[in-house]
Amino acid sequence: GREAILQGEDSPNEEDKSLRPQSISEMVGQLEVRERLKVVVDAAVKRDEPLGHILFDGPPGLGKTTFATCIPKDLGVNFQLTSGPALQAPKDLIPYLTNADEKSILFIDEIHRLPKSVEEYLYTAMEDFRIDIVLGEGTNARTINLQVKPFTLIGATTRSGMLTAPLRDRFPLREHLDFYTHEELAEIIRRNSRKLDVTIEDDASLEISERSRGTPRVANNRLRWIRDYVTSKADGHISLQLARDAMAMQEIDALGLDNQDRKYLTTIIRVFGGGPAGVEAIAHTMNAAPETLADEVEPFLLRTELLVRTPRGRMVTTKAVEHIQTHIGR
Ligand code: ATP
């Protein structure tokens, strides 16, 4: 078959890829999601049909891209990758659709950022595997209707609420990825320590997992930093104490919050009297992008009940106030 075309990848560095599972069976956690995927994958293989389109949603770093890259590997089919912001007009999408082999996977990351025109162009491609192409210009222009090979679209979004209903409805399987448990993250940390060729105590991997905001990508970042720390300051073995010292140096607190998370909470407390405050106003005060706050900071704070969302805006909880006080008191 044709070689997979990798384009427009704005994702992590090489090292992140080296830690990425290569097959769904290598993935940790997300059990229900993996079981449902296994059903549709098995059925597609048995019927020798393309897999139905799949939509993944959830906060960043929970494994949407990992799922999207493991599925084609497990199926032994080609894979193309692009993203919503890279597809500015229908013509940007055409090469992907015409290059797609039968049963291959086309992954569109940040699919909620597709312009309306591209989204509408996708509808018939997803439903009937047909696209319209305009040949020529001006009065000579004519439209031809082209059949493309039956492919599978995998979409990923941090904001399923921003998807239009017609697009969402075209995905027969929609999966929400939720935060990981401490035990699951500890398992990821143990496995990745082996991949990074560093030894680690069990209590250290648990401590790191408890301070990784339920997110594998965060756990990997913590682990890499701690590996550097123990290599620089000690003999390269990760003990509980060294893990704690390394995270203290990065100002990661007991709940796993970093400076940006705490700055968000203190801004609401100090500037907005604890809230309610709109995310735009908070972002403006912090000199941050509202999207970053909504995607990367708020989900975990909401999940851990440090923050609540009300119709009038974001409010911190008593738990958040107490946490900030103890942190500053230290
Ligand atoms: P984004 O929305 O930013 O693209 P994402 O949800 O696609 O984020 P990934 O890039 O798939 O997140 O995951 C980040 C890293 O976390 C991966 O490179 C991988 O090392 C690790 N990871 C994610 N999910 C799992 C898992 N279930 N098991 C093991 N490792 C995982």
* Options 66, 69, 158, 304, the catalytic residue: 158
Which structure tokens are listed for 79?
């894979």
Sign of CA dihedral 115, 118, 120, 122: negative
* Contact present, 21 and 184 (Cβ < 8 Å): no
* Mean pLDDT for the stretch of residues 85-90: 95
Per-residue model confidence as pLDDT tens digits over 184-199: 999 999 999 999 999 9
In the reported structure, the alpha carbon of residue 281 is separated from the centroid of ligand 1 by a whole-number distance in angstroms of 31
Residue 21 predicted with pLDDT over 60: yes
In this prediction, residue 16 has a pLDDT band, given cuts at 50, 70 and 90, of low
Known catalytic membership, residue 98? no
Known catalytic membership, residue 103? no
Which structure tokens are listed for 11?
């994702």
Which structure tokens are listed for 327?
């942190």
Tell me if the bond preceding 276 is cis, omega within 30° of 0: yes
For ligand 1, mutation pick of 15, 31, 62, 162 (most atoms within 8 Å of CB): 62
In the reported structure, the alpha carbon of residue 311 is separated from the centroid of ligand 1 by a whole-number distance in angstroms of 32
Count Cα atoms within 13 angstroms, Cβ side, for 252. Answer: 21
pLDDT for res 136: 83
> What whole-number distance in Å separates Cα of residue 328 and Cα of residue 330?
5
pLDDT for res 134: 84
In this prediction, residue 9 has a pLDDT band, given cuts at 50, 70 and 90, of very low
pLDDT for res 7: 38
Closest ligand 1 atom to residue 29 Cα is: 27
Query: Residue 130: which H helix or E strand, with range?
Result: strand 130-135
Spatial CB neighbours of 14, under 8 Å, sequence gap ≥ 6:
none
Q: Which of the pair, 102 or 136, is modelled with greater confidence?
A: 102
Q: Who lines ligand 1 at CB under 6 A?
A: 11, 16, 19-21, 27-30, 60-66, 109, 156, 158, 188, 216-217, 220
In the reported structure, the alpha carbon of residue 280 is separated from the centroid of ligand 1 by a whole-number distance in angstroms of 28
Residue 315 predicted with pLDDT over 60: yes
**Residue ranges of the alpha helices (H) in 48-109?**
64-75, 90-99
> What whole-number distance in Å separates Cα of residue 42 and Cα of residue 35?
10
* Mean pLDDT for the stretch of residues 214-240: 97
For ligand 1, mutation pick of 32, 66, 190 (most atoms within 8 Å of CB): 66
pLDDT for res 220: 97
* Contact present, 189 and 200 (Cβ < 8 Å): yes
Radius of gyration from C-alpha coordinates of the chain? 22
Per-residue model confidence as pLDDT tens digits over 127-172: 999 999 888 888 888 989 999 999 999 999 998 888 999 999 999 9
Nearest partner of 131 among 92, 163, 103, 169, judged by Cα = 92
* Mean pLDDT for the stretch of residues 102-110: 97
Per DSSP, 181 falls in state: P
Report percent pLDDT > 70 for the chain: 94
pLDDT for res 329: 54
| Residue with token string 């193309």 | 80
In this prediction, residue 5 has a pLDDT band, given cuts at 50, 70 and 90, of very low
Which structure tokens are listed for 80?
């193309």
pLDDT for res 318: 97
> What whole-number distance in Å separates Cα of residue 317 and Cα of residue 274?
8
Residue 205 predicted with pLDDT over 90: yes
ipTM above 0.85, yes or no: yes
Q: How many CB atoms lie within 10 A of CB 242?
A: 20
Q: Please state whether beta strands 130-135 and 142-147 pair in parallel, antiparallel, or not at all (unpaired).
A: antiparallel
Residue 266 predicted with pLDDT over 50: yes
In this prediction, residue 14 has a pLDDT band, given cuts at 50, 70 and 90, of low
Cα 96 to its chain centre, rounded Å, is 22
Known catalytic membership, residue 319? no
Known catalytic membership, residue 217? yes
Residue 247 predicted with pLDDT over 70: yes
| Residue with token string 């405050």 | 277
Count Cα atoms within 13 angstroms, Cβ side, for 299. Answer: 20
Closest residue by Cα to atom 1, ligand 1, is 60
* Reported pTM: 0.91
* Mean pLDDT for the stretch of residues 267-294: 96
In this prediction, residue 10 has a pLDDT band, given cuts at 50, 70 and 90, of very low
Residue 239 predicted with pLDDT over 60: yes
Q: Please state whether beta strands 313-316 and 307-310 pair in parallel, antiparallel, or not at all (unpaired).
A: antiparallel
* Options 20, 57, 64, 69, the catalytic residue: 64
In the reported structure, the alpha carbon of residue 34 is separated from the centroid of ligand 1 by a whole-number distance in angstroms of 14
Q: Exposed e or buried b for every residue in 93-127, given b needs 16+ CB within 10 A?
A: bbebbebbbebbbbbbbbbbbbeeebbebbeebbe
